[in-house]
Structure 1
């Protein structure tokens, strides 16, 4: 069952070919992890969505309160018998039909789709995980590059490149040739007692898991947190590299070119992340 503007529908045929998310990528989305009816980091997701809608000049309905959208998500989980399970929730907001590049309206609709997941909390994968740079196309740093929109052509082509080259993931560069993020999450480097991640001004996604880890790291006195540009040359000097997103939590990187990495910091941060979830 899919939730379209509050109505539960069986199937995926309720969107027309004139849908602006399909026709122009005029849509935003949040991918949320639900665990036994609890939406992890829901407040962060909600406020990022509201900020993104303002940047996209979408009209935010008066009904779009945090409580309303949460209740609609929970209603959708219950309709799919997932209220007591772990699930992946995709909340999409698209501008309503009409117009070409210039829309006829800034009013919006929402769609909620859910799928079952196997793990309720985050576990550290010990599997081999290799990455390399994706240099065919670059991110142009701006507010738009920080949004979770339907414009994901670079991520799609990059993912095909990774698959064709037997890689688990790729790191994306911006037009200044700085490392911005991975294809499906934010990137962190560990060198000694310094943990570094690209600044938002470099064009990386304003990830919800990124925000959670920044809060955790700031409370650990033995580590210095740095948000700054990352040169590709720094990758091979790092002791550890990991990728973050709300679905997997923390994904340690095993290898970048000839460099292999440890995962001790990843393990420690993941433990603290799960404790934070249990206490929230």
Structure 2
């Protein structure tokens, strides 16, 4: 696999990240997961501005060349040799090597990985449950996609051990935050709720797009609010959103079975928005 390290294309087996790498040592890095379809970088502006906001929040020095156009060109350069119609991009940005907790510099390196997405058939059942071993603490730092994903990793192990497809993460107030790999929406009647950013969820790109779609739809009302796990049990539908899958309907939560009708309608609207934006 070819990766792009600071603008240089290298075989991944030849890439040498040293023991002083801060993303490895301290989780001192952030990343964007981006989908490319037929060479088009999907919702690129939204990903770019989220990346810039995250870098500013983490006091990283944004290089002068880090323009919208520059980074898109670097992504396109990375996928030049790929013949796949759908590609998963991970754009990593982390502080340069050196220092202990206090870094030697706030300047950054970047690494772009590209992996071909294989077609996968949708599962007829998609089961979730709560992950209660550890909490995702509310606050602005939790809204940033840092390279510290230990909570998500432990939840994914728990899901595997319990024959689940995903888990719901909770904050210290035991409110619903998000799923392991995406934001969560809960449907009850014509009201659709998703955890507010203040609950500690990632500022998901597809989350943002779904909210925009629903705000223009007079048939439904969208609320960004606090959600208790009890509301999942009472919901008509539940779905999860992320940049790669788009919208994933949940069919089962414990003994509760959900419909998938509204998520299917929103998926169609999202597909239109994806290729007209």
TM-score (norm 1): 0.96
Deviation of residue 129 (structure 1)?
0.6
2:22 corresponds, among 20, 33, 37, to 20
For the residue of structure 1 that corresponds to 2:131, the secondary structure is strand
Partner residue in 1 for 2:209: 212
Gaps of 5+ in 2: none
Partner residue in 2 for 1:98: 98
1:144 has 2:135 as partner: no
Distance 2:103 2:162 in 1: 40
Distance 1:125 1:264 in 2: 15
Deviation of residue 124 (structure 1)?
8.8
Partner residue in 1 for 2:234: 237
For the residue of structure 1 that corresponds to 2:18, the secondary structure is coil
2:36 corresponds, among 34, 37, 40, to 34
For the residue of structure 1 that corresponds to 2:234, the secondary structure is coil
For the residue of structure 1 that corresponds to 2:12, the secondary structure is coil
Distance 2:224 2:122 in 1: 25
Distance 1:196 1:155 in 2: 22
1:114 has 2:114 as partner: yes
For the residue of structure 2 that corresponds to 1:136, the secondary structure is coil
Deviations 1:89-111 (A, max 9, x none): 00000100110000010000100
Residue pairs, 1:191-210, within 5 angstroms: 191-210=188-207
Distance 2:121 2:257 in 1: 17
Deviations 1:39-73 (A, max 9, x none): 00000100000000011100000000000000000
1:75 has 2:99 as partner: no
Deviation of residue 279 (structure 1)?
1.9
Aligned residues: CA RMSD: 1.2
CA contact (8 A) 1:124 1:267 kept: no
1:189 corresponds, among 164, 186, 190, to 186
Distance 1:115 1:247 in 2: 12
Seen in structure 2, the aligned counterparts of structure 1 residues 218 and 155 have a Cα distance that, compared at 3 Å, is same
For the residue of structure 2 that corresponds to 1:154, the secondary structure is helix
For the residue of structure 1 that corresponds to 2:266, the secondary structure is helix
Partner residue in 2 for 1:65: 67
Distance 2:121 2:82 in 1: 27
CA contact (8 A) 1:124 1:251 kept: no
For the residue of structure 1 that corresponds to 2:135, the secondary structure is strand
For the residue of structure 1 that corresponds to 2:133, the secondary structure is strand
Gaps of 5+ in 1: none
Deviation of residue 140 (structure 1)?
1.0
Deviations 1:114-141 (A, max 9, x none): 011135xxx9935201100000000111
Once the two structures are overlaid, the 10-residue window that deviates more, 252-261 or 8-17, is 8-17
Distance 1:59 1:207 in 2: 23
Residue pairs, 1:138-177, within 5 angstroms: 138-177=135-174
Distance 1:200 1:44 in 2: 16
